[in-house]
Homo-oligomer: A and B are copies of this chain.
Amino acid sequence: MSAPDPRLSINQATIKHADLATALQVTRAGGVQAIGLWREPVQEVGLATASAMLTDSGLRFTTLCRGGFFTMPEGAARRASIDDNRVAIEETAALASAGAEGSTAVLVLVAGGLPDGSRDLIGARERVRDALGELAPGAAAAGVTLAIEPLHPMFASDRAVVSTLGQALDMAADFDPAVVGVAVDTFHIWWDPDVLGQIARAGEEGRIATYQVCDWKTPLPVDVLLSRHYPGEGIIDFDTLTRAVIDTGYDRDIEVEIFNADVWATEPGETIRRTATSFGATVSPHLARP
């Protein structure tokens, strides 16, 4: 078997049931060079220990998942969320420093859904913008890029009121691109009639903080959150989307992030192998720049 693509990064959610030590070990053992981490397994061992483990692994760090969830109105819950996001910014900076050369200090932000009982989508979206305004100075000071992740519109009410790449870019527009960018995830944006135009715009505006890939397939499972698949198993046109991202000059690592009960039930080393194979077949052919 050939070595995995050097730009492949395993998002830790793809091997959800692996603890941090296992995740680092199987990723490295699989010949993958980079990893995106989640806060919970990092916090389980503590940031200092996690950072040391990451350094020992020799892996590049690509993103921390995830901050956000700040659509609620002013009050104690909102303050707690903003404070927690400040912690996430510090975690991101520490992990990026601990990762191998070429690591990127990117914190992925999922906006959050409508507050319970609310139908005020416009207000919720305004509060996302407000939260970015509160967090941006700290992110800038820490050298961290906040990556707003538009989620598929099927999550607009309960998970993320930011639904399109264009909307995320509009929100980011008030800020320095080094501080507020966007996460371009094929699963969430493939359907958008304006996706190619918005990817080009994101590139022009210098805001593609991370490019993430996985596939879409129907029928959707009972929990639609788990409807993500290996690239190539569904209907997403990775050729066109990847070329659009690469054509902007994007030169960072590319994460594969799969929420899928069957994938999670697989032995993690096997998942790494399958991820590398599917990435090599669907994404790698489009990474060369003309």
Contact = CB atoms under 8 A, between A and B. Distances in A.
A209 interface: no
Given A163-B192, A166-B193, A237-B120, A154 B153 contact: yes
Contact of A121 (B122, B167, B190): B190
A169 B33 CA distance: 46
In this complex, which of A118, A120, A222 has the most chain B Cβ atoms within 10 angstroms of its Cβ? A222
B224 A220 contact: yes
A190 to B, nearest CB: 7
Contact of A235 (B153, B157, B224, B234): B157
A235 B163 contact: no
A129 to B, nearest CB: 12
A236 interface: yes
A152 B167 CA distance: 17
Interface size class of A (residues with CB under 8 A): 35 or more
A154 B154 CA distance: 6
A247 to B, nearest CB: 16
A218 interface: yes
A234 B222 CA distance: 19
A153 to B, nearest CB: 4
A157 to B, nearest CB: 5
Nearest to A171: B193
A237 B119 CA distance: 5
Interface string A164-192: 10110010000000000000000000111
Contact of A237 (B121, B153, B220): B121
A240 B217 CA distance: 33
In this complex, which of A163, A237, A240 has the most chain B Cβ atoms within 10 angstroms of its Cβ? A237
A56 interface: no
Contacts of A220: 154, 220, 224
Given A153-B191, A157-B191, 8 more contacts: A114-B235, A121-B190, A121-B237, A153-B192, A154-B220, A163-B193, A170-B193, A220-B224
Interface of A: 114, 118-122, 125, 152-154, 156-158, 163-164, 166-167, 170, 190-193, 216-220, 222-224, 234-237, 240
Closest 3 CB pairs of A and B: A156-B191, A154-B154, A167-B193
17 contacts: A114-B235, A119-B235, A119-B237, A120-B237, A152-B154, A153-B153, A153-B154, A153-B191, A154-B220, A156-B190, A157-B235, A163-B193, A166-B193, A219-B223, A220-B224, A222-B222, A224-B224
